Structure 1
């Protein structure tokens, strides 16, 4: 992170990227000194409420982040930046999104955790849009014009006030990752009672990781019946970019047991701060992340460590596990919403564990049209995962089983949603 003093002193001349977080209440005019070079500007974690009228002077700006500020409206001056590609205004106080504020060049828009009640029809002019993050707002409907955004691949509309899921959404040709829980149309099914584990039975160890929805720690579970090392996830309780932690927890519980899931041992009770949490089996240390989250450039597609190579055996085993698990989830009316390599752990033999239910939600299996379309949207995400797996394998063009998987991949991402197979079809088709 740079400083305002460095900027004013000319020490950042020629900078391509700039990040300032100093409690700023006004846009620093010195930023315009970088107008000839600046491509990424991050002004998150300040106290800004507006951008200057001449903001468009930043003609080379591609990425703008203004999260955790005090904006009440998405600035209309965003339209004056000709090549603006990614815009993030997460966790502000935005109520108004005007038509002019929607730069038609935008490919990735983040408005998570604001107060937006309506979106203008002109959002349909953003035909480059691939990723749209709207969770945690007050939307009562989506403009039908959004269906003109034919490149839209990832959509987050969880934790809003939508009374129905628009049917036109179900036929969008590239939509693959959809999160919709926490709306008025959502009905949570009855969840089987879980084993209750008293907080006092857990001896806490070191933190293993932290995500948007919670913190995972190592712990020892000591009770009359158990004395074992476990992993514990304590949910933060706040809305995330994907949705509500409560929905994540309930969907995970409802998913049932599967060899591709980390086994749930119980639900925490009597937490001293009243927080919710889950106790899970500890993942063996031999497992590692298959992929990394999308980059700014890849937008909706995962990226992988340089030099990563998978064997044909690994690819087949991973693909088979994910297919079987996804079929089980949808048989329980659970949409995962985030079927990605970065949510997948593997070992050297291709054994696979899939997780992160942060974007998951329940849907009504008795609504045949809805259920069929939602499953085939998730099948598209699986198709992209297959594409990633095959791209990492040197045998993809010669191994007969992998050639068969390539054919399945193409069927999974068919533009016409109804032409895609269901997960049970994929289970039957794979060896």
Structure 2
């Protein structure tokens, strides 16, 4: 974090990234003194409603964050900034997105939690677009030109007003991660699945201990659950109740419950009742401390790709066990009409020995398995699994006797999962092929 005092004193000359949170109501003109080096500008958390028309003077600017401000329109001058590839205006009051506001090299656009009802056709004329986050708006349709976004890999449409998904959506060749819960589309199914039974656990029975983690949707603590004359160590997730880039945390909670029991999902023990601040939450089984994230989430540079430790390696049995476990868990989700929406290595917890669980249902959505949408939605998620398989194969440590004989079969399965949408196998077939590979 930087300060206005530093900026005005010239102490930031030569920096490539500037972050200012100072209750700004006007754009500090001193920022233009950094034009020859500045690549990332973060003005999140101020009180800005406009940017200067001469912002393109920042000719090296690649990334602009203006979330949690007071914008009502995406600034039109952004479209004349050829180096700008990422634009983030989450949690403003934006109602208008002019066609002229979209930079030609746009790769990643975040407009979550605004008031947008319409998007311009020009959005579909940004061929580099990989990541588009539109949850928490008032959209009923998307421009048909978006069918041409052949590089689009991640799309967030949750908590809008879609009566139906665009017919072209599941034909996008690279789309792998979709969040679409909280729309009239699928609402009936969601309501039915949200009623999935889960015991109520009184808040007074839970003694919270140390924090284990925090995500966009909530905070996880270790806790002791005092019941039946004894105490059970558990994990407690308290939801923030705020709109995230993936959608509503309450939908996430419903999906966790509806997913049911599976060896590769974290068991839900119950819902919290009687929280003093009416917070929503789940009580879940406490994982062995040996479980860690398989990878870290994507970075600004990688955009849609997870970040692995440089020396991350898995032996063949552990790698294959992870692939089998995740495929089996995802197959159960789709049998129950649940699209995970965020099937990534950073949402897989493992112990380096092959034990693993698929976690984080923040992007999950319910769908009717009896409708024509069902197979294309599952095949969309199959692409995400194919990318995961590729990453696992890349990190497979050769055995002492050399490459496992079955490794080419796993590589072929990954390629099949990355085929054109209609040609991809379903998860039931994937789990069967993995069993055959394991038996070789």
Q: TM-score range by the shorter chain?
A: over 0.9
Q: Following the alignment from structure 2 to structure 1, what is the Cα–Cα distance between the partners of residues 160 and 405? A: 46
Q: Following the alignment from structure 1 to structure 2, what is the Cα–Cα distance between the partners of residues 154 and 385? A: 15
Q: Following the alignment from structure 1 to structure 2, what is the Cα–Cα distance between the partners of residues 149 and 418? A: 18
Q: Following the alignment from structure 2 to structure 1, what is the Cα–Cα distance between the partners of residues 331 and 55? A: 49
Displacement of 1:225 in angstroms is: 5.7
Q: Following the alignment from structure 2 to structure 1, what is the Cα–Cα distance between the partners of residues 95 and 196? A: 39
Runs of 4+ in 1 over 6 A off after TM superposition: none
Q: Following the alignment from structure 1 to structure 2, what is the Cα–Cα distance between the partners of residues 340 and 323? A: 12
Displacement of 1:402 in angstroms is: 2.1
Q: Which runs of 5+ in 2 are unaligned?
A: none
Question: TM-score w.r.t. structure 1 length?
Answer: 0.98
Q: Following the alignment from structure 1 to structure 2, what is the Cα–Cα distance between the partners of residues 13 and 275? A: 46
Q: Following the alignment from structure 1 to structure 2, what is the Cα–Cα distance between the partners of residues 272 and 374? A: 39
Displacement of 1:184 in angstroms is: 1.0
Q: Which residue of 1 aligns with 2:319?
A: 315
Question: TM-score w.r.t. structure 2 length?
Answer: 0.96
Displacement of 1:392 in angstroms is: 1.4
**Aligned Cα root-mean-square deviation (Å):** 1.2
Q: Following the alignment from structure 1 to structure 2, what is the Cα–Cα distance between the partners of residues 104 and 33? A: 25
Q: Which residue of 2 aligns with 1:329?
A: 333
Q: Following the alignment from structure 2 to structure 1, what is the Cα–Cα distance between the partners of residues 45 and 37? A: 23
Q: Following the alignment from structure 1 to structure 2, what is the Cα–Cα distance between the partners of residues 104 and 148? A: 15
Indicate whether 1:223 and 2:227 are aligned.
yes
Displacement of 1:192 in angstroms is: 2.9
5 Å-filtered alignment, 1:20-419, equals 20-186=20-186, 187=188, 188=190, 189-190=192-193, 191-224=195-228, 226-367=230-371, 369-395=372-398, 398-414=403-419, 416-419=420-423
- Any conservation in 2 of the 1:55–1:80 contact (CA below 8 Å)? no
Q: Following the alignment from structure 1 to structure 2, what is the Cα–Cα distance between the partners of residues 107 and 52? A: 23
Q: Following the alignment from structure 1 to structure 2, what is the Cα–Cα distance between the partners of residues 71 and 204? A: 39
3-state SS of 2:31 partner: helix
Displacement of 1:137 in angstroms is: 0.6
Q: Following the alignment from structure 2 to structure 1, what is the Cα–Cα distance between the partners of residues 407 and 299? A: 27
Q: Following the alignment from structure 2 to structure 1, what is the Cα–Cα distance between the partners of residues 6 and 119? A: 39
Displacement of 1:124 in angstroms is: 0.8
Q: Which runs of 5+ in 1 are unaligned?
A: none
- Any conservation in 2 of the 1:335–1:375 contact (CA below 8 Å)? yes
- Deviations 1:104-150, CA, capped at 9 Å, x for gaps: 21100000111111101111111100000000011111111111111
Displacement of 1:400 in angstroms is: 2.1
- Any conservation in 1 of the 2:197–2:257 contact (CA below 8 Å)? no
Q: Which residue of 2 aligns with 1:429?
A: 433
Q: Following the alignment from structure 1 to structure 2, what is the Cα–Cα distance between the partners of residues 401 and 246? A: 42
How many residues align structurally?
429
